[in-house]
Amino acid sequence: MKHEFTALDISMNKFLSWIFDAEIHLEVMNLGETIKEENNAYLQDHTKAMIFICHHFHEGLKVEYLTVKDPLVLWKILKERYGNQKFTILPQTHYDWLHLRLQDFKSVNEYNSTLFKTTSQMKLYGENITENQMLEKTFSTFHASNIVLQQQYKECNFKRYLKLFSCLLVIEQNNEF
């Protein structure tokens, strides 16, 4: 059977994105209740949820949790085991955000991709980056030789980062940036 998303591995990498994917898929399959406190899900639904969750485990994890039969119990164990990621990965994500500079990238697309990866990680850990913060981050990290261009873009009063990104992309494609 094909995985709907990447299997959870023992190294704990990408746990938050895995748990997010798992929750969404369980909801779509009408099995979301099975991982919630005081649920009234049928035994058959619990079994389906366990099969689905374990199907998205690395083989080593399947062996570790072989005796767990309740999806809610398994969910709690996983959150307890991997829940500390916020405290280990978030500082690195903050560092990445602080040191993210448009001028360090060869293309606007590369910068945009890294910007969204970083902001998505921060959102997964409960920290929201606003449109204004993304705009300011981009404006403040223009290369020093483009200070006039930076001021011109600021005066355009962009409200959405994607509008600025589109504009920068067009300029880059026209080799004016």
Are 118 and 101 spatial neighbours (Cβ–Cβ below 8 Å)? no
Give the model's confidence band at 1: pLDDT under 50 very low, under 70 low, under 90 confident, else very high. Answer: low
| Residue 9 within any structural domain of the chain | no
At 109-120, the pLDDT tens digits run 999 999 999 998
Helix axes 15-28, 71-82, angle to 10 degrees: 160
pTM of the model: 0.68
- Residues 26, 106 share a domain: no
- Residues 100, 151 share a domain: yes
Give the model's confidence band at 89: pLDDT under 50 very low, under 70 low, under 90 confident, else very high. Answer: confident
Domain span at residue 42?
15-82
Q: Mark which of 56, 82, 108 sits at the end of a domain.
A: 82
How many domains does the structure of the chain reveal?
A: 2
Distance (Å) of CA 20 to CA 25, 51, 96, 125, 171: 9, 17, 22, 11, 36
Give the model's confidence band at 177: pLDDT under 50 very low, under 70 low, under 90 confident, else very high. Answer: very low
Q: Answer whether residue 63 shows pLDDT above 80.
A: yes
| Residue 7 within any structural domain of the chain | no
